[in-house]
Amino acid sequence: MTKINTIPNESRLALETRRLTVNRDNVMVLNDLNLTISKGSWCALIGPNGAGKSTLLQVLAGILPFQGEVQIFSQPLQQLTTRIRAQRIAWLDQSPVQSADDLTVYDVVMLGRIPHQAWLGGPSAADHAAVKHALTLTHASEWRDRALGTLSGGEKQRVLLARLLAVDADILLMDEPLANLDPPHQADWLLLVRELVAQGKTVVSVLHEVTLALYADELIIVADGQVRYAGKRDDPSLHREIENVFEHRITIYPVGDRWVALPTLA
Amino acid sequence: MRTSPAQLKLGQPPARLLAIVLGILCVITVILGLSVGSTGFEPLLSLGSDPVAAQILWDVRMPRTFGALLTGGLLGLAGAVAQGLFRNPLADPFLLGSASGASLGIAVLLVGFGVSPVATQWLIKLGLTGAAFIGAVLAVLLTLSLARGVQQTLRLLLAGVIVGVVLGALSSLLSLTRPDILQAMQAFMLGSTAFVSWSACAIMAIVWLACTAAGIAFAKGLDGLALGEATATSMGLPVSTLRAVLIAILALASGTAVAHTGLIAFVGLASPHLVRAIVHTRHAWLLPLASLMGALLLSLADLFARGLLAPQELPVGVLTALLGGGYLMWLMNRRGVTRD
């Protein structure tokens, strides 16, 4: 099979899956899942624990085998060369990273440039510029010489986010990017995503903070390995489905022109 | 552009400085090593005028001093590769069973002597070093086959532990059937640089150069692996190939070291830790620095092993185990205090 090493820009869709099925350890995690995500938008994946959201993100990142079809900018994912895939799609893992504790913050963020570098080559001026820009965007520049292991959980998360941004990919897949972030930095993250989308990038994030997910352009509810519902943030049917999928343990209320999900204690 | 001002500001000067300091300390230790023998300390310059002393210097002290340096270099490098590959700071070069494989190789050789004239002839050709090296490499291959390849790190670790225990038990069993080999086996288990020849030095130097060059070539991959295998894959790194190459480096470096000097504990484990305690740097620097640190540690240990009770000699492996154990205890306490 000939591999694709360029992706045309005409596609309206950034991501599309058809009959996507994934088995892990003989358990069907994703089952005939179909979705489309528009280019230049922010899509939040929500759903209960074990619904298959992280698995879906890993498939879209090209790191998990699957059955069915996955298209990136209307090109089959399996046909992209590894380098093109790694340059165009960046993925942020939800697992805490401990083994990079001895690397400096700058070196960790520079790892995001691996897809752009020759195997034996050093970093180029463009690589250094991308790393500095990513550190600025995540307000992490002041720790650039510190070892990752000396930072707090939230600070580490911002450095790993900077590593993701340094890839300068068109599609950014983030699995629970707000873990460990305090409210001001959660707000910063929302502003950052808005800026990325304004630049034409596509952001797909798994979020457990439903109120923050309700800032996204589109929300996709994943449950039992399938898409339960996909809709815009103001869609009343979407709100009902969110309440349903979380067994009415949350209720969504309007606050100004926004929506807030609060726990239902009764 | 290979080196920018930003790079110069970031960790490289300390790494480079540490490399220079370690290099200088290695040279000093080598000079001291050449000056210490069974008669105690003798200034190196005074040995040149005496032909017998010069002969001893060339035939005995030089190969064993350089042998200690190279063995330490191989173990330090293998330790840094093992800790990066398994993303575990407690990983050591013998994690995949090479030490117990080498030990079994030696036991088989010693037991096989005299069984038949043909077998003895073959075993003489093979020699202790050859038997230990073949044992070490076969043990790593056995670990790989038990782990069904290099795909799963945890499986590899478990398989390495199993192979280590089982082959260790087999060596003990062989030793029990032939108590006359116990002394030779014990000498191997304690580790010594006393039997290193010039040809052994040449082999170790070639393996060290090849493994260091390959390690540096794949250092970017080791950095990527630090973020986890899934993230490394998402960055386009060929994780399976990377693991296979790193395991080959690990097997070759640790197998060569153990074959020539026996079991020398803790140098491979402690060297990368010591480097990381001084500088935070990428694997392209960490690997050669850990190698230099290993070379320095083993050269120093060898110097003390020979000089402390001269003309008696302590087994260098015992000394490294004592020093390394002490270092780990200190590290554990320090970490405990930090966490509390």
* A88-141 pLDDT, tens digit each: 999 999 887 778 888 999 999 999 999 999 988 889 999 999 999 999 999 999
Residue B132 lies in a domain: yes
**Residues pairing with A69 in the sheet:** A18
Closest Cα in chain A to B90: A99
Mutate to test the interface with B, among A58, A87, A88, A102 (most CBs of B within 10 A): A102
Give the model's pLDDT for residue A179: 84
Quick check: A125 contacting B, CB < 8 Å? yes
Mutate to test the interface with A, among B87, B157, B231 (most CBs of A within 10 A): B231
- The side-by-side arrangement of strands in the sheet containing A42-46 is A89-92, A171-175, A202-206, A42-46, A218-223, A226-232
Same domain, A160 and A176: no
Q: Give the global pTM.
A: 0.88
**Closest C-alpha among B171, B185, B173, B152 to residue B97:** B171
**Closest C-alpha among A227, A228, A203, A229 to residue A217:** A203
Same domain, A154 and A179: no
- Give dist(CA A79, CA A69) in Å, integer: 11
Residue B66 lies in a domain: yes
Write the Ramachandran bin of B228: left for phi over 0, alpha for psi from -120 to 50, otherwise beta.
left
Cis peptide before A76 (omega within 30 of 0): no
> What integer is the mean pLDDT of A182-204?
95
Taking every pair of Cα atoms in chain A, the longest distance, rounded to a whole number of angstroms, is 61
Give the model's pLDDT for residue B4: 42
Same domain, A175 and A257: yes
> What integer is the mean pLDDT of B213-224?
95
Residue A39 lies in a domain: yes
Domain hosting A140: range is: 97-168
Q: Which residues of B touch A89 (CB under 8 A)?
A: 234
* Closest CB to B235 among A114, A122, A123: A114
Within 288-327 of B, beta carbons closer than 8 Å to A belong to: none
Cα dihedral sign, A73-A77-A81-A85: positive
Q: What is the mean pLDDT of chain B?
A: 86
The reply to whether residue A104 touches residue B236, judged by beta carbons under 8 angstroms, is no
Work out the burial of residue A147: count CB atoms within 10 Å of its CB; fewer than 13 is exposed, 13-18 middle, 19 or more buried: buried
Q: Which residues of A touch B338 (CB under 8 A)?
A: none
Q: What total number of domains does chain A contain?
A: 2
Same domain, A105 and A66: no
- Domain-terminating residue out of A168, A191, A217: A168
Q: Is the pLDDT of residue B54 over 60?
A: yes
Give the model's pLDDT for residue B178: 84
Quick check: B16 contacting A, CB < 8 Å? no
- Give dist(CA B28, CA B183) in Å, integer: 34
Query: Beta strand pairing status for A89-92 and A171-175?
Result: parallel
Q: Is the pLDDT of residue A69 over 90?
A: yes
Low-confidence winner among A9-23, A146-160, B34-48 (lowest mean pLDDT): B34-48
Q: Are B150 and B156 in contact (CB under 8 A)?
A: yes
What are A37's two structure tokens? 């995500």
* Å between B333 CA and nearest CA of chain A: 18
What are B267's two structure tokens? 């140098």
Same domain, A154 and A210: no
* Å between B176 CA and nearest CA of chain A: 43
Quick check: B333 contacting A, CB < 8 Å? no
- Domain-terminating residue out of A168, A192, A215: A168
Count of CB atoms situated within 10 Å of the CB of B52: 8
- Domain-terminating residue out of A137, A152, A168: A168
Assign A42 to helix, strand or coil: strand
Residue B42 lies in a domain: yes
Quick check: A135 contacting B, CB < 8 Å? no
The reply to whether residue B281 touches residue A107, judged by beta carbons under 8 angstroms, is yes
Give the model's pLDDT for residue B23: 97
Residue B6 lies in a domain: no
Q: Is the pLDDT of residue B336 over 80?
A: no
Same domain, A178 and A239: yes
Q: Which residues of B touch A55 (CB under 8 A)?
A: none
Count of CB atoms situated within 10 Å of the CB of B13: 12
- Give dist(CA B32, CA B44) in Å, integer: 8
> What integer is the mean pLDDT of A203-224?
96
Same domain, A54 and A117: no
Residue B5 lies in a domain: no
- Give dist(CA B128, CA A155) in Å, integer: 54
Same domain, A106 and A217: no
The reply to whether residue A114 touches residue B226, judged by beta carbons under 8 angstroms, is no
Q: What total number of domains does chain B contain?
A: 1
Return the CATH number at A221.
Answer: 3.40.50.300
What confidence tier does A228 reach under pLDDT thresholds 50, 70, 90? very high
Same domain, A116 and A105: yes
**Residues pairing with B323 in the sheet:** none
Mutate to test the interface with A, among B235, B276, B289 (most CBs of A within 10 A): B235
Low-confidence winner among A60-69, A240-249, B24-33, B169-178 (lowest mean pLDDT): B169-178
- What stretch of H or E contains A45? strand A42-46
Domain hosting B272: range is: 12-339
More confident residue, B25 or B324: B25
What confidence tier does B45 reach under pLDDT thresholds 50, 70, 90? low
Each residue's pLDDT tens digit, B139-176: 999 999 999 877 778 888 899 999 999 999 999 998 88
Q: What is the mean pLDDT of chain A?
A: 93
Return the CATH number at B170.
Answer: 1.10.3470.10
* Closest CB to A100 among B217, B227, B235: B227
Give the model's pLDDT for residue B329: 81
Same domain, A177 and A145: no
What confidence tier does A2 reach under pLDDT thresholds 50, 70, 90? low
Residue A229 lies in a domain: yes
* Closest CB to A102 among B10, B231, B280: B280
Closest Cα in chain A to B85: A99
Q: What percentage of chain A carries pLDDT values higher than 70?
A: 98
Residue A80 lies in a domain: no
Residue B150 lies in a domain: yes
Same domain, A186 and A146: no
Give the model's pLDDT for residue B48: 64
- Give dist(CA B2, CA A259) in Å, integer: 50
Give the model's pLDDT for residue A231: 96
Give the model's pLDDT for residue B212: 97
Same domain, A113 and A156: yes
Quick check: B338 contacting A, CB < 8 Å? no
